[in-house]
Amino acid sequence: MTNKYDDAPKLLKDYLVYLQLVKNRSELTVLNYYTDIRSFLRFYKIKQGRASNDPAEFQNIKISDITESDIKSVDLMLAQDFLIYTKNEKDNHPQARYRKGVALRQFFKYLTNNKGIFEVSPLANLELPSPKPALPKYLTLDESIEMLQNINTPDQKRDYCIITFFLNCGIRLSELVGINMSDIRCSRDSSGHESWTLKVLGKGSKERIVYLNDACIQAYLDYLSPAETDNKTRAEAGCRDMTAKTDALFLSRRNTRISNRRVQQIVEECLKASGLDNRGLSVHKLRHTAATLMYQNGVDVRVLKEVLGHENLNTTQIYTHISNDQMQSAMSKNPLAELKNKK
Q: Hey, is 16 helix, strand or coil?
A: helix
**Residue 111 class from Cβ within 10 Å (0-12 exposed, 13-18 middle, 19+ buried)?**
buried
CA distance 15 to 110: 7
Angstrom distance (rounded) from CA 264 to CA 280:
13
| Separation of alpha carbons 299 and 312, rounded Å | 17
| Residues sharing a CB contact under 8 Å with residue 35, sequence separation 6 or more, in sequence order | none
Q: How far is CA 294 from CA 131, 246, 299, 303, 304, in A?
A: 26, 33, 5, 10, 8
- Tell me if 225 sits within 8 A of 157, measured CB to CB: yes
Strand partners of residue 211:
197
CB 160 within 8 A of CB 219: yes
Q: Which residues are catalytic?
A: 172, 203, 284, 287, 310, 319
Q: What is the 3-state secondary structure (H, E, C) of 246-313?
A: CCECCECCCCCECCHHHHHHHHHHHHHHCCCCCCCCCHHHHHHHHHHHHHHCCCCHHHHHHHHCCCCH
Longest CA span, the chain: 81
The partner residues of 186 in beta bridges, in order of sequence, read 196
Tell me the HSE value of 258 on the side-chain side, using a 13 A CA sphere: 25
Helix (H) and strand (E) counts in the chain: 15, 3
